[in-house]
Structure 1
Amino acid sequence: MSGAELKKVGLKVTLPRLKILEILESAGEDHHLSAEDVFKILLEQGEEVGLATVYRVLTQFEQAGIVRRLNFENNVSIFELDTGDNHDHIVCIKTGRVREFVDSVIEERIQEISKELGYDLSGHNLVIYGAYKEELDPAIK
């Protein structure tokens, strides 16, 4: 997302907004970041942006539809870019690592349940919690 796209969603282009957006876009596989994670990355990059500014920018991004705020059982909000896709999350109760997954059977069943109960589904949020079995992939901890 560029400065022009920030303007398009009604946000003024500022250096903190651009830097935070850049961090979110370049986060790779572990792209579920807390405000504190973003703040630490900014510090590592030598940027002088306060934690309050990070929270404010992330909230503005959420209101503009740029990011989604996710709240899990640890009461810490994490943020991910809102790519418009539909996916669910699984959280390791040991490490707090969040992974995404898509399962067509689950998606279909959610649609069926909504219909059976007389609801027009507008969205859903499925979070699974468990302890990751390291022997499956020792590189992931």
Structure 2
Amino acid sequence: MPPRSPSPLLPLDALKRAGLAGTAAQAAVLDYLLHAEHGHYSAEEIHRRISASGERMNLSTTYRVLNQLVDAGLVASVPLGKHHSLYELNTGKAHDHLVCVVCGRVEEFSDPAFDRRRNAIAKKFGMRFVGKTLALQGVCAECTARAHPPRTRT
């Protein structure tokens, strides 16, 4: 399914166009992602921020709604391990992610040569992509510098 960009729509309109019921919980999560500074958020963080605004929602509901929004193409999931993902508004712009395993910082990148190589590998194994999410994990420069500060000469 091609990604849909809900940005020009109100959350309820975007939900209805995506074939969802447009529940209050769906609208609250989508509205948060539409108005949050562009970034990558855990389900727990989304739940905490929505709850802080006075909206009543269980964490399990937040997870369920995020899965519905991902399935509908309105939200993208960045898997970081067996049971952990970050979520971002699906803008339709293809990109990959670099994730610092120490501080959690996420950097987005696009590389046409990398995409060509990924497609060649898929072709070699007879695979057809139906989705694409890549999160390369490492340690960012700031965390590396904190762990190994430069020595000063005396």
TM-score by length of 2: 0.74
- State the structure with bigger RCO (CA 8 A, min sep 6), 1 or 2: 2
User: Does 1:17 pair with 2:26?
Assistant: yes
Question: Aligned with 2:83: secondary structure?
Answer: coil
Deviations along 1:56-78, one digit per CA (max 9) or x if unpaired, are 21111122121122221373122
1:131 to 131, 139, 146: 139
Q: Does the CA contact (< 8 Å) of 2:79 and 2:135 recur in 1?
A: no
Aligned length, in residue pairs? 135
| Structure 1 unmatched ranges of 5 or more | 136-141
Deviation of 1:113 after TM superposition, in Å, equals 3.3
Deviation of 1:120 after TM superposition, in Å, equals 5.7
Output the CA distance in 1 between the equivalents of 2:107 and 2:133: 14
One-letter identity of the residue aligned with 2:37 = G
Question: Aligned with 1:105: secondary structure?
Answer: helix
User: CA 1:53–1:75 in structure 2 vs 1: closer, same or farther (change >3 Å)?
Assistant: closer
Output the CA distance in 2 between the equivalents of 1:80 and 1:56: 15
User: Does 1:60 pair with 2:68?
Assistant: yes
Tell me the equivalent position of 1:6.
15
User: CA 1:107–1:43 in structure 2 vs 1: closer, same or farther (change >3 Å)?
Assistant: same
One-letter identity of the residue aligned with 1:91 = V
Deviation of 1:16 after TM superposition, in Å, equals 2.1
Output the CA distance in 2 between the equivalents of 1:34 and 1:13: 22
TM-score by length of 1: 0.80
Alignment of 1:50-89 (within 5 A): 50-73=58-81, 75-89=83-97
Tell me the equivalent position of 2:36.
27
Deviations along 1:108-136, one digit per CA (max 9) or x if unpaired, are 22233344x1636424433221111128x
Output the CA distance in 1 between the equivalents of 2:59 and 2:42: 11
Identity %: 35
Question: Aligned with 1:12: secondary structure?
Answer: coil
Output the CA distance in 1 between the equivalents of 2:71 and 2:90: 11
Question: Aligned with 1:60: secondary structure?
Answer: helix
